[in-house]
Amino acid sequence: MSSPAAPGPVAPGPVATLPSASIGGGLPLSALTPVFTGLRMGLHLLIAALTALVVVRALFGAWPDPALIVGLAAVFLGSYFGGSYLARTRRERWIIPVWLGLLLVEWLGLTLLAQDAAYIVFPLFFLQLHVLPLRWGVPLVLVSVLLAVWALSRNLGFSVGAALGPLVGAGVAVAIGLGYRALLREAAERQALIGELRGAQADLAATERQAGILAERGRLAREIHDTLAQGLSSIQLLIHAAERTVTDAAALEHLRLARDTAAANLQETRRFIRELTPPALDTQTLPGALARLADTVTREAAGSREATAVSLHVTGEPVELPMRLEATLLRIAQGSLANVVQHAAATRAEVTLSYMSDEVTLDVVDNGRGFTATEPTPGLRTESFGLVAIRQRVEQLGGTFVVESRPGRGTAVAVTFPLGEGAA
């Protein structure tokens, strides 16, 4: 049987995008995982098939010393699969270099005995590129090319084909390996973004649950205040009026006992109202809660490197708003001021609450470093999670949200909520 021609670069096609993680570590958890798994199995099958081809041709008398070829081929396959298992399950840094060096030596010995084994160098190119960093993988590929050219020239004599085949194959392997790394990097970034979005959804769901709890507690506080507390207060007034008209001492004593009991229950009811009311709104007014927030932020920021003075301005005639809307406005102010203190490096921030006939607005303006504000684009992340959370809060209540900012010119956050006939 004739000796094989110098191997060309067409052998390794299906393993061109084998991920580095498929040999030495775990696969990324993404939609591409089945593809990466298939490519890993493809590399295993290709190396096994090419080695089997060498064994079969040796058994049919293509090369001398068939027993030695079969034994070395078995050692080569054992080293390949054993090293693959160790690289996947162990973390010692020496395993992969020793494994690749051993495979290279065994392959070279097999190629010197049977020229068919030269084809195995192509899957070895991809293996070397994918389990090693590029700064080590590319030089090792070049070393493998030189060894392949030397082994083929030693048996067949030097020729352009013997030198060009492995060289072109190595170039193709390097080019495809670089493209694969870009694909893997994009898949990892996409997976990280998906994880971050899931975390943001969980945070937003928790925030919405908390807002719902606060709204329900506020509703119960208002209901108790408007019914039970008012009723007990009225009972007190009626009993007090009755005391002025009753002259019988025993009846007067009973009336006083009833009045004291009503007063005690009224006090207990007011305690329930205070406990049910959201702590930041226990002043019963949104402007009062915002004023306390401004004072707190100013006081806490005074000890930091970038002290921020926060001032509050209220315009228009304050009206009573639904508890959920008041809680949302307060949370938006808290989130905006937190961004100012943590990121803006501002010395001054102004919070303006404006009551109008048909809407209420909240503006938070600072003189900080600012940023390049862009219009939100579906599928493109252009805002921090804090701004995204504020935007979603506003949109869920039917409001509008605007951010204006320029580098070095500060930032303005404005939210507006319409007031329907039943808003008060």
Instruction: For residue range 42-78, list pLDDT tens digits in order.
Output: 788 888 898 888 889 888 887 788 889 889 989 998 9
Instruction: Give the Cα separation of 302 and 78 in Å (integer).
Output: 68
Q: Are 359 and 351 in contact (CB under 8 A)?
A: no
pLDDT band, very low/low/confident/very high, at 2 (cuts 50, 70, 90): very low
Looking at per-residue confidence, does 371 or 416 come out higher? 416
Close Cβ partners of 168 (under 8 Å, ≥ 6 residues apart) = 8, 9
Q: What is the CB neighbour count within 10 angstroms for residue 177? A: 22
Q: Which of 168, 94, 92, 176 is nearest to 130 (CA)?
A: 176
Q: Are 330 and 281 in contact (CB under 8 A)?
A: yes
First to last CA, the chain: 97
- The one-letter amino acid code at 141 reads V
| 139-167 residues labelled b (16+ CB within 10 A) or e (exposed) | ebbeebbebbbbbbeebbeeeeebbebbb
User: Could you tell me what percent of the chain has a pLDDT over 90?
Assistant: 8
Q: Compute φ and ψ for 162, nearest 5 degrees.
A: -65, -30
Q: What is the pLDDT of residue 414?
A: 93
- Of 16-30, 103-117, 270-284, 367-381, which range is least confident? 16-30
Q: Could you tell me the two tokens for 393? A: 């809060």
pLDDT band, very low/low/confident/very high, at 362 (cuts 50, 70, 90): very high
CATH 3.40.605.10 fits 281-424, yes or no: no
262 class by beta-carbon count within 10 Å (0-12 exposed, 13-18 middle, 19+ buried): buried
pLDDT band, very low/low/confident/very high, at 378 (cuts 50, 70, 90): very low
According to DSSP, the residues that pair with 201 across neighbouring strands are none
Q: Give the three-state DSSP class for 217.
A: helix
Model confidence pLDDT, tens digit, residues 122-162: 888 888 887 888 788 888 888 888 888 888 777 766 666 66
- For the entire predicted model, the pTM comes to 0.41
- In terms of average pLDDT, the best of 133-137, 159-163, 165-169, 226-230 is 133-137
| 312-332 residues labelled b (16+ CB within 10 A) or e (exposed) | bebeeeeeebbbbbbbbbbbb
